[in-house]
Structure 1
């Protein structure tokens, strides 16, 4: 059975939710339709003419790419321009294009985590916070006979995580009162009669991202027609997600040695470097894409070196004066995410018995030549 486009994107957005993206980022479906069955998906960094030809050759119905093909409003669509020809080819071959950009940078297991892992960074935190998963207190009142069933349904749905502890809740006994009115079909009691029922108040913590899932699980398990429950926004801060990562090497390296590791792990022939190659570095910041404006963030976080792409001349001078080293392996190192996303989605297809195939693009879209 083939998966529909909407189903595949649902799995993609569970991995890299849209609200993880920076404001006004060009993400989501940019061309075509998801209202169709998908034979093959191509995961790419960029959507170039060569990548579209690869997609056509592999009978691809959907491209999931990192970089947008539509950056600004289109005043007119003519097919005698490079981009117009690209859009025309995609439309003629019924290939949809979906973009996951800064939300994929931010996601757990996304671009920046993969870069940090490749360099063997430890104890990583975000370089810049973009989104906080706010915490809510969920309180529900349950008859004693159904307490365990409802509590486990909530906790198994993801509620009750505090730090490295799971299934956290507080339970207190009390008495619930109610009068079933005309038209009701009460689980306990009779119409028109005041009931006093031994109940347990269950309290637990729910992150905003799974609030609906937990509430639905609770309502499904609860025996009452009308469930009494409350949700309170908490001051306690939830998990934060953001761009870039900052972590430590297990052992200090010289900048020159780190350069060699960057070249090997990111499969790049050359890099641009700012700083003394003989200096020791231990705390490393990484950021996929263009990182010039994040040098100050890396400095603030105490990084010895920032590994990122597209560093401009004046920013490099400022970094040198401030004492932070820079390694620029180019924007294209974000290609590291292609096999990871393809593997994640392929696993989802297999788990749900779909025959849709997920393929990582084999083409390099590096625009620069090193001569």
Structure 2
């Protein structure tokens, strides 16, 4: 079966739901077509010209990137400019570009979790809450013969998960009636005759983020031409989501020692250190990219040190004033998303004939002398 850009986009969106992204963030399809055939996918941090050249040389059909290719509106596509050349090359070689940015930062298991895992801090929590998933009650009426198949389909789509329990449903037996009209091809019964079927009213909880996916999965598993179902909003809310993570080191260490650990964990030549090198640190906060505006939240949550990139001069002074240490290993440490996202996509694409690879081009613009 042919794999398309749309098929891969479905996988990416399942990992990093678009609705999690900050308002105005330039996520989604930047170049290409959802209908283009895909044999090879390359995951990249940035879409620069040398990354596109790498994709061309490697016969890549789709680039899944973290940083947007087109962030500010283009007034022209001048092929003498770098941006124009990039777009021209992508179109000429039929390479599509899909972006998952702040939605990949925020999602559970996303960039900020990847950064914490790279530091060896496993038990961590959200640093800055940005929202919570609404919950809905999905009710599907299914013949008894297909009850188990439907329950499995819903669970595999992410519905009916409460804590560490899956397949959570409530089931009420009953009798369904229907009369197939002209033009129908009923699974049970004949046209013009009233049919009575032993059915089950299956109820389950579904987060808003996967509601459409759950209904689609139920429809595919349901034997009827027309599936009867109801959707009700719930007063309770689901899982919280947000930016950044905070956790604890197994053992206290000095800020100087921890800075060295950060340097080695992210394989960077140097880090910028803000604070007393001899200070003991235990509670660690991480925000991938530019986390300047979240220093107050980090301090309020009890962080001894905040790791983030692009720290401004005045932000550093403010952090010193409030007693918050900071370590700036650079924006480029978000490159951990390349190998980790490839693993996540490969696990979800076991039934899809496509190759996933990471970009090997180093897009760090800074050099240390």
- Does the pair score TM above 0.5? yes
**TM-score band (shorter)?**
0.7 to 0.9
- In structure 2, stretches of 5+ residues that fail to align are none
- In structure 1, stretches of 5+ residues that fail to align are none
SS at match of 1:235: strand
**Are 2:264 and 1:264 aligned?**
yes
Q: Residue 31 of structure 1 aligns with which residue?
A: 31
Q: Residue 98 of structure 1 aligns with which residue?
A: 98
Q: 1:115 to 1:210 in 2, by over 3 A?
A: same
In the TM superposition, what whole-angstrom CA distance separates every residue of 1:313-355 from its partner, at most 9, and x where no partner exists? Answer: 1111111111111110000111111112233334455x2251x
How far off is 1:310 after superposition?
Answer: 0.5
Q: 1:170 to 1:267 in 2, by over 3 A?
A: same
Q: Distance in 1 between matches of 2:180 and 2:88?
A: 63
**Are 2:136 and 1:136 aligned?**
yes
Q: Distance in 1 between matches of 2:143 and 2:342?
A: 46
SS at match of 2:237: coil
Q: Residue 53 of structure 1 aligns with which residue?
A: 53
How far off is 1:236 after superposition?
Answer: 1.7
Q: Residue 331 of structure 1 aligns with which residue?
A: 331
Q: Residue 366 of structure 1 aligns with which residue?
A: 364
How far off is 1:274 after superposition?
Answer: 1.0
Q: Residue 163 of structure 1 aligns with which residue?
A: 163
Q: Distance in 2 between matches of 1:191 and 1:94?
A: 52
Larger radius of gyration: 1
SS at match of 1:37: coil
Q: 1:368 to 1:182 in 2, by over 3 A?
A: closer
SS at match of 1:238: strand
Q: Distance in 1 between matches of 2:154 and 2:348?
A: 24
How far off is 1:73 after superposition?
Answer: 1.6
| Greater mean alpha carbon deviation, residues 107-116 or residues 181-190 | 181-190
Q: Residue 302 of structure 2 aligns with which residue?
A: 302
Q: Distance in 2 between matches of 1:343 and 1:193?
A: 52
Q: 1:336 to 1:234 in 2, by over 3 A?
A: same
The 5 Å alignment of 1:90-129 reads 90-129=90-129
Contact 2:151 2:167 in 1 (8 A): no
Q: Distance in 2 between matches of 1:290 and 1:342?
A: 24
Q: 1:3 to 1:215 in 2, by over 3 A?
A: closer
Q: Distance in 1 between matches of 2:296 and 2:251?
A: 24
For these two proteins, the number of residue pairs brought into alignment is 367
How far off is 1:204 after superposition?
Answer: 2.3
Contact 1:187 1:223 in 2 (8 A): no
Contact 1:180 1:186 in 2 (8 A): no
Q: 1:157 to 1:235 in 2, by over 3 A?
A: same
Contact 2:17 2:209 in 1 (8 A): no
In the TM superposition, what whole-angstrom CA distance separates every residue of 1:138-195 from its partner, at most 9, and x where no partner exists? Answer: 334556676556555544543322112222233456x658685976979589979897
Q: Distance in 2 between matches of 1:61 and 1:217?
A: 28
Cα RMSD of the aligned pairs, angstroms, is: 3.0
Q: Residue 318 of structure 1 aligns with which residue?
A: 318
Contact 1:263 1:329 in 2 (8 A): yes
In the TM superposition, what whole-angstrom CA distance separates every residue of 1:102-152 from its partner, at most 9, and x where no partner exists? Answer: 112122332111101011223322222334221112334556676556555
Contact 1:122 1:250 in 2 (8 A): no
Q: 1:91 to 1:245 in 2, by over 3 A?
A: same
Q: 1:37 to 1:79 in 2, by over 3 A?
A: same
Q: Residue 245 of structure 1 aligns with which residue?
A: 245
How far off is 1:59 after superposition?
Answer: 2.4
Contact 2:123 2:247 in 1 (8 A): yes
Q: Residue 17 of structure 1 aligns with which residue?
A: 17
With normalisation by structure 1, the TM-score equals 0.86
Contact 2:3 2:352 in 1 (8 A): no
